[in-house]
Structure 1
Amino acid sequence: MELKKITTRVLAAGVAAATLFSVAACGSSSNSADTKDDGSEMTVDVFDSLANSQGVQKGWYAKLIKDKFNIKLNIIAPNVSGGDTVFDTRSAAGNLGDLVITSTGNGRLNKLVKAKLIEDMTPYYSSMKNVKKYDNAVKSITKEAGKDGVWGIPQAASSQSPTDPSEGIEPGSAPYIRWEYYKEVGYPEIKDLDSFLDVLKQMQDKARQETGQNDIYAFSLFKDWDSDVMQNAAAICSWYGYKQQGSLFIGPDGKDIQSATKEGGIYQKALAFLNKAESMGLVDPDSTTQDWDTMQTKVSNGKTLVSLWSWLGKPRMNSNENKAKGVGFMLAPLEDMDVYSDGFTPDGDGSYMIAIGSKAKNKARLAKFIDWLYSPEGIYASASNAGGAACPKDLGCFTTDSDGKNPKLTEFGNTAMNGDHANLKVPAKLGGGTYDDGLSKLNFKAVQQNDIDPNTGEAYNAQMWKSEQDDSALFKDWSAHMGNAKNDIDYLQTNNKLAVAAGASYTAPEEDSTISATRSSIKSATVQASWQSVTAKNDAAFTKTLKDLRTKVDELGYKSVLKVDQDNAKALVKAREAVIKEAK
């Protein structure tokens, strides 16, 4: 699954934000059923913390929801413009939006309820048949809100086991390499990270020799997504089963919880790996200054040999044409990896939800729209990843047998999922424009993509359909050298290299403003030192940079932040244990 951009999850905190919520509380919420809806066309303002583009929804998705609900979506995206200031300003005005897609963490949900900025959907809930299938997920939001009522519906709900990997056929973060160059250097053994770098040096030399281009690098990095730590290094920690939460890295079984500043810890191991890559000339020199957009363009142009994520390299390089020639990114056989995998979340991903704004008109119609998002039709239509995840049947993406089983991609659907979807034309009667133009701007994943469609009996994700198994030259060569694996997850599970963390819904409680201020200083210091360590000229400079960081964060008051993060990590581990027990 591709993420166009990682959304920043910095929440409004402190006295200023509290004041804004206090002002908003002067407004009122009807908390009652709507007056009669005349059915006329309605422009719906959507405050959307997950959206990566804003403005009026266009194209085939706009046509679909216009025909079904007679609504137009106008997306207000703080990620695009304004950041948290947009949230603060609209909250102070008492009207966040007609629909609200936002985080629940750090006490935000509780504040939204107290400030009467979102509506209790209880009057409409009995008719929300699709949402009610995930009733436990809805209850998790009620619990987080601290007040009875249906205040929001969490994203990423699921009907599958929390201990099964939710990614389907490929993990999110794992070592992916340009397989054709790995083949050309003789499929060398990759025992650990050190030998991985040796292999990558051979691959880089081969790629430059063949193309005559000396600007091809194993790694091309970027800073856009840095938060508590250097995000690119955190992705490498996932290759060994560790998930970042705040300033900590948590093993999937919860037995090992490490600080990012731990000497010799998993995060320092990732930084040391990147530093050695830098010293070997394997890191793009633009890495410290370029952004995501520049970096991903280089991946598309064949300038990068490693993809930190499956959804970065594969969608940009593994076209049908390339795969037929044996060209593209495939999972590397890193022998000591133990790749992190999120389990399915029966209670949903409680960190983000969709709600109805208290000042919205025609709330019953908006509740129907939300319910549709959780229906099979809505799930197929509303996926918004540019890799082509959205595959609605009404758009002509797939067909089924007469009994509704055995889904198969059409020529249009195959291009949407695997080909040049950016230039794929949509018929005027279905909305016109291109396929990509019409992708939902909401970027809200109601149900996990690899959950099962009750109508077909197969996953919503077309990559997992029986009819769509990869038979390209690239896949066949990869499989032949990976124990005849059916896909990436199959290889990892068969070889005990997949660390599944139970899919538990957990949202960190509101953080004290003093802790938030201290955390902000520690974030800056940690990220700055991380990049400095990656570009350090020798081992002594690398070691000194991280030693100085440990001293600095201690002086900044890291002990208090560490205590909060440790408590949150322990709570997450307990939530994982609880969801496993509940599923039995």
Structure 2
Amino acid sequence: MKRFLSVLLTLAMLLSLVSISAVAEESELLTIDFYDDAANYNGIQSGWFAKVVKDKFNIELNIIASQVVGNTIYATRSEEGNLGDVIIVDKSKFSEIVDAGLAKDISDKIVDCENIMKFKTQIDVYNKGLTGEEGKYYGIPCEMTDTSPSTLTDEVIYSSPMLRWDLYKEIGAPKLETLDDLLAALVKIHEVHPQNEDGDPAYPFSLWPDWDGNDNMVGPANVVQLTTWYGEKLKGSAMLKPDNTFSKLYERENAYYKITKFLNKANQLGLVDPDSGTQNWDNACAKMSSGRVDVFWYSWQVGFWNSVDRQKAGTAFRFVPVGDMNFYADADRYYGSDRMIGVGAGVEGEKYDRIMAFLDWYASPEGATIQHTGLKDFNYTVNEDGTFTVLNDNALMDNLTVPDEYGGGGYNDGYNAINQWIVSSICVNPLTGERYASKFWNSYKQQTMTEMKKEWSELFDAADDVDWMKKNGKLLASPSVDFTPIADNNDMIALRSQINSTLCEYTWNLIMTCATDEEFEAMWDEMIEQLNGFGYEELFEYDCGVWQPEVDAKIAAAAAAQ
């Protein structure tokens, strides 16, 4: 029966693609300006994903990436009255865009988008909160799930310390209780692994500044994300503590201080890549995929290294618990991530039709499979029962050459530069009956039931990362709620920009230039003085007010789920 249903779904998908292809053949090439705060690439999408989009819609994507060209592009294009044909921004910005008349009311088209409207509940909740009206649509939340607001589906969380298993074993697999223990272990790892196989220098940490000030948080992203290791989450400029109270991020009892000092100590010990403060995202990725980084802290980083072969060889990255950590993790983003997709207000006629057709395909099983899995017979094969098996799982990390029939070039070079999805990878793919993310596939679990996984489970007495955290009372799971922070007014925009700039400059200097603890403490005091002089305390009080409704909603959701 499952095979039969899969065949029916596949036939339906193929029939829809015939219709789409016919439209593409009859239409002229259309360039879509895609303003995208999530993108790490600026310019015309190239390679295999460009070919997919062109073949289906005769569209090319011109990615306008604020993370690459600078945040001033947002103000410039807004003043011109044309942010883009398609817009991906943070929720707080999106309400501002709607108020400014830069986003289009898409109510007339979205109701006919069958794939997008599978998430009607979530989309309705967001748009009603935005406009106060039923049936009025401007935005589509990114990365919505088909689970529930209180579910934690993944076996890993967004940020946790991960070490290469072979190197961790080589130094004796020491039990780690504190960050100092982790540093001591990293010193030994650096001694046994000072360079990669090509002889290039390797370091435990290789950081990058491209994402500084993003995701509704001031400061360097590589620092603020690690505060979640101690149950704290930065909301704007305010640190949310495990007891649901706010604290100034620079207070020395807070995790921002703890993590910054930890990275400074790591640098004093020669464990931080000296390029960290200046290298860009592309440089950092190249180092991850070439064995020049010994600590990963984002869950997605393993995609640059953990091939099936490396898991079988025991050289992949795995979560290594540190006893005093208590991890903050968001539950499944049922209502979507912090970003929104909208259509530019000036889009009309055929362009409007084709953009909405593209977005609906982007949310379709076929589109989501391409986004989360890749290309059939290059990234995966189809099993007899309609499920998938991973193929060339090193395509991204090794930038494998894509066959000409799929667009040619390197796989990573042609990867989807939009870098955001409507459908989360933890959703169930109706074409297979399994989740989109390959790590959930039965075939992948069989492939990766390696000696390394058995060793990890035996050593830590757990099936996976989340299982260990739950068993040991080390997980603070925050329920998903629909919440959009109010947009900053012009005064707050200027104040936040100044605070972020000052905080980033000082934090990077604290990490990379302080040679002693005394220098670090003196510079920390200087940073506090400078931040307060620029109005940090005003911004802090403002952000506490902005984010308190979300905290209240999460407390209520957690109580309701019990």
TM-score by length of 2: 0.84
Q: Distance in 1 between matches of 2:324 and 2:111?
A: 50
Letter in 2 for 1:475: K
Q: Check the 8 A contact 1:233/1:270 in 2, yes or no.
A: yes
RMSD: 3.1
Corresponding residue for 1:157?
A: 144
2:275 is paired with a residue whose SS is helix
Q: Could you tell me which of 346, 368, 382 is aligned with 1:358?
A: 346
Residues 408 and 467, structure 1, Cα contact 8 Å, conserved in 2: yes
SS at match of 1:341: strand
Deviation at 1:396, TM superposition (A): 6.9
Q: Deviations over 1:262-306 (max 9, x none)?
A: 122111111222222233332333334433333333333333322
Unpaired stretches in structure 1, ≥5 consecutive residues: 1-35, 384-388
Q: How far apart are the structure 2 equivalents of 1:537 and 1:245?
A: 30
Asked if the contact 2:193–2:202 (Cα under 8 Å) also holds between the matched residues in 1, the reply is yes
Q: Which of 329, 337, 340 is the equivalent residue of 2:317?
A: 329
Alignment of 1:408-557 (within 5 A): 408-409=388-389, 413-416=390-393, 422-426=399-403, 428=405, 430-469=406-445, 470-483=448-461, 485-534=462-511, 535-557=513-535
Partner of 2:484, secondary structure, is coil
CA distance in 2, matches of 1:523, 1:90: 22
Amino acid in the other structure paired with 1:323: Q
Match of 1:129 among 97, 102, 114: 114
Secondary structure of the residue aligned to 1:560 is helix
Counterpart in 2 of 1:72?
59
Superposition map of 1:162-561 within 5 A: 162-165=149-152, 168-208=154-194, 215-227=201-213, 228-251=218-241, 255-312=244-301, 314-355=302-343, 357-362=345-350, 363-381=352-370, 383=371, 389-393=372-376, 397-402=380-385, 404=386, 407-409=387-389, 413-416=390-393, 422-426=399-403, 428=405, 430-469=406-445, 470-483=448-461, 485-534=462-511, 535-561=513-539
Is the 1:243–1:250 Cα contact (8 Å) retained in structure 2?
yes
- 1:164-223 deviations in whole A, cap 9, x for unaligned? 235x23222110112212111211111111111112222222224998979443323333
In 1: Cα distance, 2:25 partner to 2:442 partner = 45
Percent identity for Structure 1 against Structure 2: 29
Name the CA distance, whole Å, in 2 between partners of 1:209 and 1:150.
53
Aligned pair in 2 of structure 1 residues 455, 348: CA closer, same or farther (>3 Å)? Answer: same
Provide the residue aligned with 1:14 in structure 2. none
Q: Provide Cα deviations, 1:134-179, integer angstroms capped at 9, x if missing partner.
A: 123222442354364211211111121222235x232221101122
Rate the CA distance shift 1:117–1:211 in 2: closer, same or farther, 3 A: closer
Consecutive unaligned residues in structure 2, runs of 5 or more: 1-22
Shift of 1:408: 2.4
> CA offset at residue 501 of structure 1?
1.6
Q: Is the 8 A contact 2:94 2:340 kept in 1?
A: no
Displacement after TM superposition at 1:394 (Å): 8.3
Distance 1:576 1:298, change over 3 A: same
| Residues 210-243 of structure 1: CA deviation (Å, up to 9, x unaligned) | 9897944332333333222233222321212222
Q: In structure 2, do the counterparts of structure 1 residues 46 and 291 end up closer, same or farther at CA, with 3 Å as the change threshold?
A: closer
Q: Quick check: 1:162–1:580 contact (8 Å CA) kept in 2?
A: no
Deviation at 1:320, TM superposition (A): 3.4
- Helix, strand or coil at the partner of 1:127: coil
TM-score calculated relative to the size of structure 1: 0.81
Deviations 1:100-155 (A, max 9, x none): 333331xx434433444332222223322222221232224423543642112111
Contact persistence 1:342–1:500 (CA under 8 A)? yes
Give 1:43 deviation, angstroms. 0.6
Per the TM alignment, residue 415 of structure 1 is displaced from its structure 2 partner at its CA by 0.6
Tell me how far 1:449 sits from its aligned partner: 0.9
Structure 2 distance, partners of 1:113, 1:211, is 52
Amino acid at match of 1:353: I
Q: How far apart are 1:74 and its partner, in Å?
A: 2.5
Query: Partner of 1:352: helix, strand, or coil?
Result: strand
